[in-house]
Amino acid sequence: MFSITTESIEPRALEEIVRTGDGGVVTFLGVVRDEADGRRVSGLSYEAFEPMAVREFEAIAREARDRFGDVRIAIVHRIGELSAGEISVAVLASAAHRGTAFDACRYAIDELKRRAPIWKKERYADGGSEWRAGGA
């Protein structure tokens, strides 16, 4: 399950990829923070180059399998307007053993932030806004 969505993310939906025999399921949820570098954030907007982003998610999942072994991965990223406390991204990794699931989940979110064609604009409570690169 690899997708870009304008709807609010329901993390449990990603569990559909969990297979009988998987003993460890690791989920990462990215949540919109209410501050960045000491400035109060009033909202965010995300945009994506959707077909390329989805292909990048697929590539990242393949790489995770090559590196860490048999693991199922789901990645869903939300776009559009988000406010503090909302989920911007969910990554789920499910494997027979937990080490594989942890490694694959972390690899996937790190790579997603590093290279998936997705952009984030922060709007600040004190006015102004900024495109933020290199997801911290």
Positions in the binding site for other proteins (CB under 8 A): 30, 46-49, 51-53, 55, 77, 88-89, 109, 112-121, 131-135
Min. distance of Cβ 48 from other proteins in angstroms?
7
CB 78 within 8 A of CB 5: yes
1 binds a second copy (CB under 8 A): no
CA 26 to CA 76: how far, in whole Å? 14
Residue from 28, 46, 57, 68 that binds a second copy (CB under 8 A)?
Answer: 28
Choice from 27, 42, 45, 129 touching a second copy (CB under 8 A): 27
Q: How many residues in the chain?
A: 136
Rounded CA-CA distance 7/77 in Å is 10
Helices 98-115 and 50-68, interaxial angle, to 10°?
A: 150
Shortest Cβ 132–a second copy spacing (Å): 12
